Amino acid sequence: MSKEKKTFPVETMRHSCSHILAQAVVQMFPEAKLAIGPDVENGFYYDFDLPRTLIPEDLALLEKKMRQIFKQTQKFAQKSLPVDEAISILHQSGQTYKVEMAEELKKQGENQISFYENIAQNGEVVFIDMCKGPHVEHSGQVGAFKLTSIAGAYWRGDEKNKMLQRIYGVCFATQAELDEHIKMVEEAKKRDHRKLGKELQLFAFDEDVGPGLPLWMPKGGALIEILENLAKKTEDRYGYVRVKTPHLAKESMYKKSGHLPYYQESMFPPMDVDGVKYYLKAMNCPHHHKIFAAVPRSYRELPLRLAEYGTCYRYEQTGELFGLMRVRSLQMNDAHIYCTEEQFEKEFQSVNEMYLEYFKIFGIEKYVMRFSTHDPKKLGEKFVDEPALWKKTEDMVRNVLIKTKTPFIEVPNEAAFYGPKIDVQVWSAIGKEFTLATNQVDFAVPRRFDLTFINEEGKSTTPLCIHRAPLGTHERFIGFLIEHYAGAFPAWLAPIQARILPVSEKFYPYAKEVFDDYKRAGFRVEIDDSDESLGKKIRDAEMQKIPYMLVVGEKEVEGKTVAVRDYATKKQDVMKTSEFAKVLGAGKKI
């Protein structure tokens, strides 16, 4: 009877792979200094201080060494040393980063430091690393792995510290899972919004403008207009009213809101205007609070839903900027709902329903609500010091989620400083996860602004405030959509819905006639009036992923038709111009 193969959690396999990577690096660079090597989603990484800069070819060499260690089935054995002895040994071996970590553990009261040894078949200890584990039993149990990339990483994530070299790898329990992951990664590269955004001429970045400050080109601007019009129509149905607020405000307002000092690190430095400090707007909520406070309010006006696609500015660290996903200028699909406690459940549920409506429109099938709560130990430090209100509002949010059977996970210590929140996690068509939107409860800041309404009993009462942004920001959401659709937007969303392709110059007048008719009907069309061949015009339109190509030649002029080629289905058909207008208006494929 065969012995059943022992299995381990994939996280343990990944952490063990990180340990094996460190061993391989030390074999190649005996003077290497080891930093940290955790398991992460889909794999692992390890940070090193090395005598030279790694090159891509080094990954293959290191991976070969790792596979040799894998075949040797070296045993993982944990041992603990008294903290002072451990620090002394690490000092002697020149492992300065491990020394720093060990000394921190000592300050925290630890009296033992954990190490893991790799023991060869002959009993020789061939490698040892300071690590708390856990690990698999031997190196042959780490599953299927592959080294993927090299990157720079500041020690402790602090730009003031030395830049280390980080080696990334992926690891899965089986080769089939690894192969599927690699296939998805390759597909993701093709869909990279930074690559497609440039190729499709949607947005650009420029050094003279500054990092993290996107320039929206005409086609990107069209996407923004389409999304904003969708949001306006949707919010109008849900009873929102629109407001506009300035791009900056005095320091005193942000002190009153509590964003100073809680949020100051994410705000641009203040500017001095006539001796008064002003900040670029990092969030819309304080401005909306001022609009609520501008006139006396009655319970009859509640819930009051103030919406704005407001432009905000946030100081993201240079190393954290990433295409449209992490920027310094962002246009937010923001709104603030002022309501009574009795109205809260219905309003919060209504926001979630709006999310689901958008998910259906954009074909988002997988999602989860990430319910972020506070840490009672950090009241007054990271969160406003109102324990009773924290419990009350978190219970209110949790009850709505449970009652409506909304899928959610609960995450402690990630709430906003003024109340619990929901971050909406969605998955694109290829399974890539994005943080898309937010829905937050604010029980603290309305009191700071003395926001009140007169209740049914004639008494002055402070409203609750719900912060919500179902479409997040234009920047992040368009970045998501580019990758979700691989740049091939459905016709209703595409910046250019159809391109008219005259077979030759002879047919330009008819092409212009068709163009004018469709433009008057409100469609987004253009003409390729270049001197290129028809084949080249079709290839150019396909490269731009334009939903429809309308070829016009002799037969089309005679029949008042267009020869329609559908980019998505590759189907071709000849249609009356009025018939195709109905297809385009309905957003259907031919």
H/E element holding 307?
Answer: strand 304-313
- pLDDT of 1 reads 36
Q: 422-445: per-residue pLDDT in tens? A: 888 998 888 888 888 888 888 888
Give the model's pLDDT for residue 385: 81
Domain boundary among 484, 507, 527: 484
- The strand pairing partners of 304, in sequence order, are 338
Residue 530 CB contacts under 8 Å (≥ 6 apart), including other chains:
537
For the chain, give the mean pLDDT.
Answer: 92
Residue 372 CA from chain centroid, whole number: 16
Residue 257 falls inside a structural domain: no
Q: How far separated are the first and last CA of the chain, in Å rounded?
A: 61
Confidence of residue 250 (pLDDT cuts 50, 70, 90): very high
Which pLDDT does position 5 carry in this prediction? 60
Is 73 within the bounds of a domain?
Answer: yes
pLDDT at 493: 95
Residue 272 lies in a domain: no
- C-beta separation of 347 from 303 below 8 A: yes
Q: Phi/psi at 384 (nearest 5 deg)?
A: -60, 145
- Report the pLDDT value the prediction gives residue 587, as an integer from 0 to 100: 63
Which pLDDT band, with edges at 50, 70 and 90, does 389 fall under?
Answer: confident
Closest by Cα among 536, 531, 530, 565 to 550: 565
Q: Which two tokens stand for residue 513?
A: 């006639």
CATH number at residue 508: 3.40.50.800
Q: Residue 226: its pLDDT value, please? A: 96
Q: pLDDT confidence of 405, banded at 50, 70, 90?
A: confident
**Domain shared by 201 and 170, yes or no:** no
| Residue 378, pLDDT score | 87
User: pLDDT, tens digit, for every residue of 149-189?
Assistant: 999 999 998 888 999 999 999 999 999 999 999 998 899 88
* pLDDT tens, position by position, 100-141: 999 999 999 999 999 999 999 999 999 999 999 899 999 999
For the chain, the residue count is 590
Phi then psi for residue 345, to 5 deg, are -60, -45
Do 35 and 161 fall within a single domain? Answer: yes
**Does position 589 have pLDDT exceeding 50, yes or no?**
no
User: Could you tell me if 405 and 340 lie in one domain?
Assistant: yes
Establish if 374 belongs to a structural domain.
yes
What's the per-residue H, E or C state across 322-348?
ECCCECCEEEEEEEEEEECHHHHHHHH
Kindly state whether residues 31 and 180 are assigned to the same domain.
yes
The two three-digit tokens of residue 530, written as one number:
């270049």
pLDDT at 4 over 70: no
Region 196-201: what's the mean pLDDT? Answer: 96
Q: What pLDDT does residue 320 have?
A: 86
Averaged over 247-270, what is the pLDDT? Answer: 90
Give the single-character DSSP code of 311.
Answer: E
Tens digit of each residue's pLDDT (9 = 90 or more) over 283-325? 999 999 999 999 999 999 999 999 999 899 999 988 889 999 9
Secondary structure class of 206 (helix, strand, coil): coil
Residue pair 441/421 in contact (Cβ under 8 Å)? The answer is yes
3-class secondary-structure state, position 380: coil
Q: How far apart are CA 259 and CA 375, in angstroms?
A: 19
Bridge partner residues of 243 (DSSP):
none
Q: Among residues 440, 441, 437, 443, which one has the least CA distance to residue 425?
A: 437
400 in the same domain as 354:
yes
pLDDT tops 80 at residue 369:
yes
Domain boundary among 484, 515, 535: 484
**What are the angstrom distances between the C-alpha of 236 and each of 231, 354, 359, 405?**
8, 12, 18, 26
Q: Are residues 121 and 175 in the same domain?
A: yes
pLDDT of residue 139: 94
Rounded to whole angstroms, the Cα distance separating 69 from 26 reads: 13
Examine the domain organization and report whether 423 and 524 are in the same domain: no
CA–centroid distance for 588 within its chain: 30
pLDDT in tens, 218-239: 999 999 999 999 999 999 999 9
Question: Could you tell me the pLDDT band of residue 404, with boundaries at 50, 70 and 90?
Answer: confident
Contact 139, 74 (CB under 8 A): yes
pLDDT digits 0-9 by tens, 543-558: 999 999 999 999 999 9
Same domain, 394 and 441: yes
**208, 317: one domain:** yes
Q: What is the pLDDT of residues 481-491, one digit of tens each?
A: 999 999 999 99
CATH of the domain at 441: 3.30.930.10
Q: How many structural domains comprise the chain?
A: 3
27-54 pLDDT, tens digit each: 999 999 999 999 998 999 999 999 999 9
Q: Does 348 have pLDDT greater than 50?
A: yes
Q: Are residues 204 and 187 part of one domain?
A: no
The overall pTM is greater than 0.75:
yes
Q: Which domain holds residue 346?
A: 197-247+284-484
